[in-house]
Every structure is written in C-alpha cells, then in structure tokens.
Amino acid sequence: MVVTRTRLTAEERQEQLLHAALTAFSTGGYSGTTTDQVARLAGVSQPYVIRIFGTKQQLFLATVRRAGDRIEQRFREAAAEEPTLASLGCAYDELLAERELITVLLHGFTASADPAIGPIVRDCFGRIYRTIRELTGAGEDEAREFLAMGMLLTCLGAMRVVGPDAVPREPWMTELLGPDQV
C-alpha cells in the first residue's frame, strides 16, 4: 500500500522535521527556539522530535549540517552552469532571498561558543570556502572578498535590510547596497 499511508518512515519524518527545524531555528536561533515549535511546524508531538534526534542540540547540529550541505549544493549547481564567482554570486543572492539556509548558518556562528557546536559549524564554513575555490578556481584574495561580501549580505539579511519582508529602505541602506541592489 503506497497511496494512503497515515504514517511516515523514520527517515521521511526526519527529513520533514529537518525542514521544520530549518524554518524554526532560522528565526529563533539555537536557544531562542523550542523543540515544541519545531514539532508544531511539522505537525507532530514535541516528545517525538526528541525521540528522533535524541536532544535539541543534536537536532540543531543536524539542521546546521543540512544548511551547509544545501548551500554547497546550490553553489555546485550554479558552477555547473558557469564556473565563475559571478555565477556563485547569483546563487548566493537566491539563497539570500529565501533567507532560511543562510540565516541558520549565521545562527550557527553565534552558537559556536558552545564547544559541541563550534567544530561542526567551522567544518561547514570551511567546506563552503573550499567549495567556492575549487568550483571557480578563484585565488585566495578573490575568494576572501567574495566570502566577505557574502557575510555582509548575510548580516544584512538577518537585520531585515534585505530578503523577504525587508524593512523600508533608509538612505544608508540604499547607499550601502549600491547600484545593483539585491
């Protein structure tokens, strides 16, 4: 029976929960998000979330890893079209327009003081850096500047200066974003 199944396999459910967690953590961050919020988003009970991931921390770590993987994947797709920094830049703009993936990673940065979280986050970031260089053949300086601009946009996204439901543009925002507004 495939058509009407009321229950999902653990793997399917895990996938669905990860999606919900991505949304939840992306706005509340690690300590600002409850496992119950994630559960409600996915339409299951809170204890079940814990049962699947063990602890809230494990859930967050899985979410950060997922975000890192997805970002990397999007870069690879962009590079398949055209292996340049400009192409990856467009991909980044798209990611920024969705906000979730990028913001979860940023929340990972700020949770890195926790010794259980830091290593995973650094690994994600390092992988992204390497991916950018490998895909585009960019030199150290180019890659650094690309990443720097990415981090600026990421912060502006978190601040609601760019991205979905961004705040009305004040003069300094328009200046800072420059002519090719995101």
Q: Does residue 162 touch a second copy according to CB under 8 A?
A: no
Contacting residue, 73, 122, 137, 164, with a second copy by CB under 8 A = 122
Contacting residue, 125, 135, 138, 162, with a second copy by CB under 8 A = 125
Nearest approach, Cβ of 19 to DNA (angstroms)? 14
- Residue 180 binds what, of DNA, a second copy, none (CB under 5 to 8 Å, by partner type)? none
Q: How far apart are CA 60 and CA 55, in angstroms?
A: 9
Which pair of structure tokens corresponds to residue 88? 């990856």
Q: Does residue 122 touch DNA according to CB under 7 A?
A: no
Stretch that binds DNA, among 54-62, 119-127, 149-157, 174-182 (CB under 7 A): 54-62
Place of tokens 């994630």: 38
CA distances (Å), origin 137, targets 5, 84, 85, 130: 48, 8, 9, 10
- By the 10 Å C-beta count (0-12 exposed, 13-18 middle, 19+ buried), 7 is classed as exposed
Report 80-119 residues binding a second copy (CB under 8 A). 103, 106-107, 109-113, 118
* Of 41 and 151, CB closest to a second copy: 151
Q: Does residue 141 touch a second copy according to CB under 8 A?
A: yes
Q: How far apart are CA 158 and CA 170, in angstroms?
A: 16
Contacting residue, 28, 41, 46, 142, with a second copy by CB under 8 A = 28
Q: Does residue 47 touch DNA according to CB under 7 A?
A: yes
Q: Does residue 167 touch a second copy according to CB under 8 A?
A: yes
Nearest approach, Cβ of 79 to a second copy (angstroms)? 18
Q: How far apart are CA 128 and CA 105, in angstroms?
A: 11
Q: What is the 3-state secondary structure (H, E, C) of 7-55?
A: CCCHHHHHHHHHHHHHHHHHHHCCCCCCHHHHHHHHCCCHHHHHHHHCC
* Of 31 and 73, CB closest to a second copy: 31
For a second copy (CB under 8 A), the number of binding residues is 45
